[in-house]
Amino acid sequence: MRPRTPSKRGLDLLQDPRQNKGTAFTAEERAALGLEGLLPPRVFTIEEQLGRVMDNFRAKPSDLERYVFMVALQDRNETLFYRAVVDHLREMLPIIYTPTVGEACARFGRMYRRPRGLYVSARDRGRIAALLRNWPEREVAVVVVTDGERILGLGDLGSYGMGIPIGKLALYTACGGIRPSHCLPVMLDVGTDNAALLADPLYTGLRQPRLRGEEYDDLVEEFITALHGAFPGVLIQFEDFATANALGLLARYRDRVCAFNDDIQGTAAVTLGALLVSGRVTGRRRGDERLLFVGAGAAATGIADLTVKALRRAGVEQGEAERRVWMFDVGGLLVRGRPGLPEARRRFAHEHPPIKGLEQAIRSLRPTALIGVTGQPHLFTEPVLQAMAEVTERPLVFALSNPTSRAECTAEQAYRGTGGRAVFSSGSPCAPVEIDGRRFAPSQTNNAYVFPGVGLGVTATGARRVTDEMLLAAAEALSEQADEATLRTGALLPPLERIREVSLRIALAVARVVIEAGLAGRGTPAELEPYLRDRMYRPDYRPYV
């Protein structure tokens, strides 16, 4: 590895998380860079530093304190932070992302110590391009942006939602190998309608009601235009917008810029990947599934749309594919003729008498899969789960809402309610369950399985758009990664320890679609795999002298 020259010396170097190695600076580096006397004399390897990190991490009394500890490490030594996450992903993922990030966002103002990311507010109208020039990095490849209105299942957290883009981009790096310097988290602060936050003396955001309508649209338009002026070709991920804005922004920008919505399309791809794998457990063919979504928002619509495309690819006629998807919301079963249905959901409202109760809907429709995307806990009651077991020999039960406190049911409830016959997956991690001498270790249907690989494939090829064909390719690539040993444990997705290799496989599939569709913005070599593998960031120290 060739030495590189850091841009700073002395204390300034130790206070720069991108370049700091802490006690791992060698004796030669300390002499050359003005560090002698500023560090304890012993030189540590990164593996020895990591041991210290994990000892301290595991000694913390709560997950929130572990989150705070990791934030402090990221602010101090970025390479060591990512080494800890990559080498201990199963332990780290629930801390730096769901479910702990939800609690961290709710307390963001009280935990605020050091700025991270970029805040664009409603007060910045007319000067967003100038504001973007304040960001110190010029080679930004991926932006994750939220307006904080629908943070996980917690609702409107205003500017406290910045924890989500920060967490997502940490996973882009740890799981997909996107360099940290190429990632930009953005909080689009348009106000909040959360009365408790507006009354909070430590609230960090604008103290005003949310912008709506034309004012909101104009601010987003200026932001997108300025972003592409500052970072041409950047991949934009919309994150945790309320349903109306999520669908509207995706429709407005998906064919204009390189953008996607993770709550809609990322959730769709990872869920479809799990659905595709499930056939190897249940013995059902792709075209045999009948899906009942509980919740009819952006996530449900995204999964349903991508599932229909997958069914079409399997040879199912369009109308029949749509009829295999049903939705149930607070008003009951979506049926044709229900007034006020948005266009996106209307094609999943079929001819059927109205039904108000979920258990009754299950007995009438006889679905093979029950998919919860509501953010409302405990909706999958014991009678509901028993009904699923009665109408389907091996029912799929996906409780996808985050964080754990918002899940429709737990793994234990799903298995016990179906006599151990459910094929279960969840949005947040679940502990293994033992029932009648059988041990189940279900997988987490986490978007982290998909979006980092999509990001790697898109940025490596300079893709001009993100298309449904790319997301279908991602879902199918994911479904190919689960081996028989994994399936025997009750999981549908590969172990988290393999996620960087999974991301590479997804990136390869996405890159091939980009190239075949003529959407590549730059030339790519014939041998894609070594090209992509070489681009993946590895958290190791580089020599300075």
CA of residue 180 relative to chain centroid, distance: 16
User: How much is the mean pLDDT over the chain?
Assistant: 95
Active site residues: 97, 168
Q: What DSSP string runs through 137-200?
A: -S---EEEEE-SSSBTTTB--GGGGGHHHHHHHHHHHHHH---GGGEEEEEEE-----HHHHT-
Q: In degrees rounded to 5, what are phi and psi of residue 235?
A: -85, 125
Q: In b/e form, how buried is each residue of 212-233, taking b as 16+ CB within 10 angstroms? A: eeeebeebbebbbebbeebbeb
Whether residue 1 is predicted with pLDDT greater than 70 in this model: the reply is no
Alpha carbons 384 and 270: distance in angstroms, whole number: 25
Q: Are strands 423-426 and 142-146 parallel, antiparallel or unpaired?
A: unpaired
Q: What is the mean pLDDT of residues 467-480?
A: 97
Q: Is 117 left (phi over 0), alpha (psi -120 to 50) or beta?
A: left
310-330: pLDDT as tens digits: 999 989 999 999 999 999 999
Query: Do 532 and 480 touch, CB atoms closer than 8 A?
Result: no
Alpha carbons 28 and 10: distance in angstroms, whole number: 14
pLDDT at 208: 97
81-91: pLDDT as tens digits: 999 999 999 99
33-88: pLDDT as tens digits: 999 999 999 999 999 999 999 999 999 999 999 999 999 999 999 999 999 999 99
How many other C-beta atoms can be found within 10 angstroms of the C-beta atom of residue 339? 4
249-298: pLDDT as tens digits: 999 999 999 999 999 999 999 999 999 999 999 999 988 999 999 999 98
Specify the DSSP element, H or E, that contains 67.
helix 63-76
Cα angle: 469, vertex 398, 261; to 5 degrees: 40
pLDDT at 330: 94
**pLDDT band per the 50, 70, 90 thresholds, residue 146:** very high
Report how far apart, in Å, the C-alpha atoms of 406 and of each of 103, 288, 380, 494, 498 are: 12, 30, 12, 24, 27
pTM beyond 0.85: the answer is yes
Give the CB-side neighbour count of residue 279, counting CA atoms within 13 A.
Answer: 14
Alpha carbons 29 and 305: distance in angstroms, whole number: 55
Question: Angle, nearest 10°, between helix axes 267-282 and 298-313?
Answer: 50
Domains of the chain and any CATH numbers: 10-96 (1.20.1370.30), 113-257 (3.40.50.10380), 263-545 (3.40.50.720)
Whether residue 429 is predicted with pLDDT greater than 90 in this model: the reply is no
pLDDT at 428: 84
Alpha carbons 132 and 119: distance in angstroms, whole number: 10
**pLDDT band per the 50, 70, 90 thresholds, residue 405:** confident
Q: What DSSP string runs through 195-242?
A: HHHHT-TT--S--SPPP-HHHHHHHHHHHHHHHHHHSTT-EEEE-S--
DSSP conformation class of 442: P
* Rg of the chain (C-alpha set): 24
